[in-house]
A and B are shown apart, each in its own frame.
Chain A
Amino acid sequence: SRTGRSEEPLLLAELKPGRPHQFDWKSSCETWSVAFSPDGSWFAWSQGHCIVKLIPWPLEEQFIPKGFEAKSRSSKNDTKGRGSPKEKTLDCGQIVWGLAFSPWPSPPSRKLWARHHPQVPDISCLILATGLNDGQIKIWEVQTGLLLLNLSGHQDVVRDLSFTPSGSLILVSASRDKTLRIWDLNKHGKQIQVLSGHLQWVYCCSISPDCSMLCSAAGEKSVFLWSMRSYTLIRKLEGHQSSVVSCDFSPDSALLVTASYDTNVIMWDPYTGERLRLLHHTQLDPPMDDSDVHISSLRSVCFSPEGLYLATVADDRLLRIWALELKTPIAFAPMTNGLCCTFFPHGGVIATGTRDGHVQFWTAPRVLSSLKHLCRKALRSFLTTYQVLALPIPKKMKEFLTYRTF
């Protein structure tokens, strides 16, 4: 049982980009991606105009108004600059579409890294990958803002990136060139595999927390599941009626959610391919005419860190919070032109990015997981659906463990 209160997300703070030094009409100002580092110590956002901002987390007090009552006043870069020595500005030279932090590298990766990159003294470094407009991927060291590597291979926009959660420094990229690529950062960013099969732009990729599966979704309405061990296709998930633009695994790898322009989020069992839930995003006001038909197109979906909530961003100007077992959202917050969202890894905050280059931080429901859910999460972190079904336990417990019931 959870706290039970359905609190509306409150806006904690908003960050706006300052005017760029060279105002360039050709570069767009959208915040296509936002990300927290897995340890919660950094936040990154592609604030448009080819710039990525890296800021330490938690935010400095000047950005959080006392009592969380109102939005912070407009904070231009110049006023921020003086108070934040650790803040980093990465000039990527072209529009930034995708962002991903690595976790702290695990020990074998650290050794490999040191061998191949002797000039980088700190072998335990946090890395940020940025996916660019022309297909390049730039790899940066977070602490120093230093450009480490340039990965070439993709022929078009790199829309999304995902590091393996284990810290092995394997990176997956998803591109409008219809491929996904696997890169090994321990070996100078060597491209180790190209995953072909999608017929249109690949919008997103996500690696399951147990590192066994990769999900990718594309314009042709299909969702693909790949094995991260053999880099081969496991299955295709059909069900969406339009482009699928966002995907995320639950923290125990037992559930996969995908979001589409068709106004739906589908929750799947990634092991069996079964559809478990359909979260329909209805407009609060009925449409006047056909022009409003796509107004609830989804842009982004993400799981909360304890695995009991989802946040979605849609074109109907709402951030929605969903509790897994329910069919309607538990809370809404107004947000215009939202493009992306992500939870802070330790819970409590949701970050969103918008078309005008702003990011917002919202309060997320405070969750105290039931003991049953904690047990389920612990078990599903290493058991597949089929392994659960093979256990000598009552049917009701299997249904609970496989998320058929909540």
Chain B
Amino acid sequence: IDGKSSGLGLCGSATMYIKLVSSDGHEFIVKREHALTLGTRKAMLSGPGQLAENKTNEGEIPSCVLSKACTYFTYKFCYTNSSTVIPEFPIAPETALELLMTTTFLDR
């Protein structure tokens, strides 16, 4: 990661991870490639070096919701290019509304 906040650029580094931090301080490290499947938002795609200037966005999302979003990233990446049967992705009713708001936020 060359430190530039270039949004979509895959910089050719072997470990391309981004760190998402929830409002209650949990850190989720996900592959940049997986997070890209959800939509692009410059703020979310910063590497560890950029975290400070983009903290406000992630800081609103609680860990139970953010962890579910991260799980979805992996689920989508896993099953998009395979031919196996796609299993269900269950979402607890109490998480669904906040997750929807987070997703809408992330996706635009």
Question: Could you tell me if B96 and A378 are in contact, using CB atoms closer than 8 angstroms?
Answer: yes
Q: Cβ of B86 < 8 Å from any Cβ of A? A: yes
User: What's the minimum C-beta distance from A380 to chain B, rounded to whole angstroms?
Assistant: 9
Q: Please, how many angstroms separate the alpha-carbon atoms of A374 and B96 in the complex?
A: 8
A393→B79 contact, CB < 8 A: no
8 A Cβ contacts from A362-401 to B? 366-369, 371-372, 374-376, 378-379, 381-382, 391, 393, 397, 400-401
Q: Check A375 against B79 for contact (C-beta < 8 Å).
A: no
User: What residues make up the interface of A, taking CB atoms closer than 8 Å to B?
Assistant: 3, 306, 346-348, 366-369, 371-372, 374-376, 378-379, 381-382, 391, 393, 397, 400-401
B positions within 8 Å CB-CB of A: 38, 69, 72, 76, 79-80, 83, 85-86, 88-93, 96-97, 99-101, 103-104, 107
B88 to chain A: which residues have CB within 8 Å? Answer: 306
Is the CB–CB distance between B89 and A374 below 8 Å? yes
Q: A371-B99, A372-B100, A397-B100 are in contact. Are A378 and B91 (CB under 8 A)?
A: yes
Contacting pair A347 B86 (CB below 8 A): yes
Is A366 a contact of B97 with CB atoms below 8 Å? no
- Identify the 9 closest CB pairs spanning chains A and B, nearest first: A375-B100, A378-B96, A378-B91, A371-B103, A375-B96, A379-B96, A371-B72, A375-B99, A372-B103
Inter-chain CA distance A254–B80, complex, in Å, is 27
Bound form: Cα–Cα A42–B40 in Å: 43
Q: How far is the CB of A399 from chain B (nearest CB, A)?
A: 12
- Determine the main DSSP class of A at the interface with B: loop
What is the distance, in angstroms, from A402's C-beta to the closest C-beta of chain B?
13
CB of A39 to closest CB in B, whole Å: 13
CB-CB < 8 A to A378: which residues of B?
90-93, 96
Closest-CB distance, B107 to chain A (whole angstroms): 7
Contact of B93 among A3, A369, A379, A393 (CB under 8 A): A379
How long is the Cα–Cα vector from A393 to B97 in the complex, in angstroms?
Answer: 9
Note all chain B residues with C-beta closer than 8 A to A371: 38, 69, 72, 76, 99, 103
Contact (Cβ within 8 A) B89 A375: no
Nearest A residue to B103 via CB reads A371
Which residues of B lie under 8 Å from residue A369 when comparing CB positions?
89
Rounded to whole angstroms, the CA-CA distance of A371 and B93 in the bound complex is: 14
B80 CB contacts on chain A under 8 angstroms: 3, 368
Set of chain A residues within 8 Å of B79, measured between Cβ atoms: 368
Q: How far is the CA of A303 from the CA of B103 in the complex (A)?
A: 25
- Whether A375 lies near B86 (C-beta < 8 A) is no
Q: In the complex, A310→B80 CA distance in Å?
A: 21
A400 to B104, alpha carbons, bound, how many Å? 11
Residue of A366, A371, A379, A401 with most partner-chain B CB within 10 A = A371
Rounded to whole Å, the gap between the CB of B62 and the closest CB of chain A is 15
